[in-house]
Amino acid sequence: MPIAPSNGIELYYETHGDPADPALLLVNGYSSQLLQWGEGFREELAARNRFVISFDNRDTGLSTHLDGVPVDLPAVLAAVAGDGEMPAVPYDLSTFAADAVGLLDHLGIEAAHIAGSSMGGMIVQQLAIEHPGRVLSMTSIMSTTSEPDYSVSTPEAMAALTGEQPTERDAYIAESVERSAVFSSTRYFDRAEAAKKTAAAYDRAFYPEGMVRQMAAVRASGHRAIQLRQLDTPTLVIHGRDDTLILPVGGERTAELIPGANLLLLHDMGHDLPRPLWPLIVDAMISHTRHAVG
């Protein structure tokens, strides 16, 4: 099992393609495992001459679980709302970014193209801000700057993300599919495929405890508006017009702040990566990474 020691923890990772090709690091979103990229997506990128690296973030999948480490999420949320001081959290977005750098170190990669979806987009933004020498280009997918005015969900989508879920396998899978339908592509969402992916993730590593700490990490980290304005990183922002979990304004704001960023808005994409849109998304990412290095 490929395990990388990184930043005081261990990360499970997988690679696709030729190590001699330019490295492309994929960073997962909130509570998700590397399975989130979908069967075949990483292979399609690798077939276009990219050495694709994916991994489970800390507290998910087969990477280190911080069992029993406490976090006061209500206090974090209250502090974000202006009620009291921000409590200490076990880790934040900077920690996630350092984890990713540690994985690159383990693989002997000096600099990589980086791409992240949702919370993963926040992580790669933080990585580009704090470790610019390790980044060849950045792709931020269905993400945001974390500014409150530009990190907006519909009430239904937020309830689907944060509501209490069952832990019994069949009930969890069934409810997760219905929740995903709320913020996924209305045109392309496939319940059977979503159930298959959810079952695979559940059987691989069901770990709801980690979700609380990851949510606290995102909320406690604040926004990145000032730092993003100062980035000198070739950037592509991809967002779905159909996204109700992070409304398109999140992607639009990201592209607005980062100098020279390109924005790709996809009409039939929600807070997901629909398989029928893979050819377009892969083409955009490959073209971006190719032109980023001249």
Number of H helices, E strands in the chain: 11, 8
Nearest C-alpha neighbor of 57 from the set 16, 15, 22, 9? 9
Tokens of 14: 């997988």
The pTM assigned to this predicted structure is 0.97
pLDDT in tens, the chain (294 residues): 799 999 999 999 999 999 999 999 999 999 999 999 988 999 999 999 999 999 999 999 999 999 999 999 999 999 999 999 999 999 999 999 999 999 999 999 999 999 999 999 999 999 999 999 999 999 999 999 999 999 999 999 999 998 889 999 999 999 999 999 999 999 999 999 999 999 999 999 999 999 999 999 999 999 999 999 999 999 999 999 999 999 999 999 999 999 999 999 999 999 999 999 999 999 999 999 999 986
How is residue 22 annotated by DSSP? P
At residue 153, the pLDDT reads 97
Nearest C-alpha neighbor of 37 from the set 50, 23, 26, 49? 26
- Determine the Cα–Cα distance for residues 15 and 36; give it in Å rounded to an integer: 15
- Determine the Cα–Cα distance for residues 184 and 248; give it in Å rounded to an integer: 13
CATH topology of domain 3-292: Rossmann fold (3.40.50)
At residue 294, the pLDDT reads 66
Residue spans of alpha helices (H) in 108-168? 119-130, 155-162
Other beta carbons within 10 angstroms of residue 97's beta carbon come to: 25
Strands 235-240 and 135-141, sheet pairing = parallel
Burial category of 110 from C-beta neighbours within 10 Å (exposed 0-12, middle 13-18, buried 19 and up): exposed
At residue 42, the pLDDT reads 98
How is residue 87 annotated by DSSP? P
Query: Is the distance from CB of 107 to CB of 4 less than 8 angstroms?
Result: yes
- Determine the Cα–Cα distance for residues 137 and 117; give it in Å rounded to an integer: 15
Domain ranges of the chain: 3-292
